[in-house]
Amino acid sequence: MSFDLWFLVLGGLLVVIALIASVVRHLPLTTTVLYLLVGLGLGAFGIGAIRLDPLRHAALLERVTELAVIVSLFTAGLKIRLPVHDPLWRLPFRLASLSMVVTVGLITLVGTWGLGLPLGAAVLLGAILAPTDPVLASEVQLAAAGDRNRLRFGLTGEAGLNDGTAFPFVMLGLGLLGAHEIGEWGWRWLAVDVVWAVAAGLGIGLVLGTLVGRLVLFLRKKHKEAFGLDDFLALGLIGLSYGAALLLHSYGFLAVFAAGLALRRIERKASPDEEDPGAAQENLRAMAAAGKEEEIATDPEKAPAYMAQAVLGFNEQVERIFEIGVVLLVGAMLSWRFLPGSALWFVPVLFLVIRPLAVLTGLAGARLPALDRGLMSWFGIRGIGSIYYLMYAIEHGLDPALAEPLTAVTLTTVAASILIHGISVTPLMKHYEKRLRKRGEAPAAT
């Protein structure tokens, strides 16, 4: 498709979305489903305006999805206001560790016995499809600062963490296929790809997020400077943390998530504990709308909350733009070539067996209502992160003979997740909100 036609399609799509967004909220589907359908219409199943081969254009797709994931992970970190020592953090930690391992293991078994893949390729497939998506799962994520809902907090934290914790298994799969050095008996993989890369990624993000956030607030409070370009602050911190993590051979995904957490941590520490975070956000929005941005950006008490809110607002807009582009491309890449017959049984097994077993294992013994546990089992949404890991593997030595079947399974799984979860999320979450009210718990803030 020509460049001018791209402008026409994306411009028209954005205008249509802006006009119908309020209507879609009341329908049993999400806007993401609409993006996918538009992509299908523009791709091989439609008019054929977009001809994108994921195997030949893997380098481009890797970069586009990489940018989408790091922006969304930074945004996910900013949404979480609770300190790490809060007991609620046990949910995402268990989901992103134990449930992740179980998911990879079960997909590996299905891949070797059911799909006929070699062990390395099956492990790689498990790593590609294990992480849940922080972009496409926005409807079930935290809605406001201070939200302590177990379901939303667990899914938001899981999506933020497991895009990084899946990386060691990607490297293990590539190593078993001879495309990455894992050392004798896997010692290098364990020492470097697991221990060092995870710890360093989290540490780099926390340090840089804290240093940059404190520097900005110091300049604003003491010297009335460094305000007005919070979008640059967001992009700069993402670039710093991600670049530093990659240079030190650690996981940039974990670094940007941790940087978002660190920036929010500064705001939380500077705000009074008794203040309602949601009400504080509304007050800041009202003051900003009244043209008092400079006043609140440099106010010693309001500056931290304003900085966090401004950065989060900008990132959410960028995240939506990437979501539209990538999901549209996923729809356009689908063709009969990438719709294997095995998907008819593999996708149901993943959604209805593997994900629930992984969640039940990871949360064994946790005090969690059955409805919350069931929805966590269902909303294991696969999306942009899976596309990134697939393209990363293709660009880092995956045998073309294995790349095609893995691409077919991944694309169909992601498309099925967008459709099935996108159609089910609105009615299920409405039912969940009603149950919350009956239990006397607060529904999602809007």
The domain locations on the chain are 55-439
Instruction: Give the pLDDT score at 361.
Output: 96
pLDDT tens string 3-39 = 677 778 778 877 877 777 666 666 777 788 888 998 9
How many Cα atoms are found within 13 Å in the side-chain-facing hemisphere of 434?
Answer: 6
- pLDDT given for residue 274 in this prediction: 46
Within 290-396, residue ranges assigned H as helices are 293-297, 303-333, 343-349, 355-362, 370-378, 384-395
**pLDDT tens, 130-172?**
999 866 666 787 776 667 889 999 999 999 898 889 999 999 9
Residue 223 three-state SS: helix
pTM for the model: 0.90
86 phi and psi angles, rounded to 5 deg: -65, 140
CATH 3.40.50.720 is held by the domain 55-439: no
Q: Token pair for residue 275?
A: 């203040």
Give the span between the Cα atoms of 308 and 286, in whole angstroms: 16
Q: Is the pLDDT of residue 444 over 60?
A: no
149 CB-near residues (< 8 Å, 6+ apart):
142, 436, 441, 442, 444
pLDDT surpassing 70 at residue 278: no
Q: Which among 171, 102, 159 is positioned nearest to 134, based on CA atoms?
A: 159
Mean pLDDT taken over the chain: 86
Res. 104: pLDDT tops 80: yes
- How much is the pLDDT for 353? 97
Position 99 scores a pLDDT of 96
Structure tokens at 117: 């893949």
Model pLDDT for residues 37-60, shown as the tens digit of each residue: 989 998 888 888 888 899 999 999
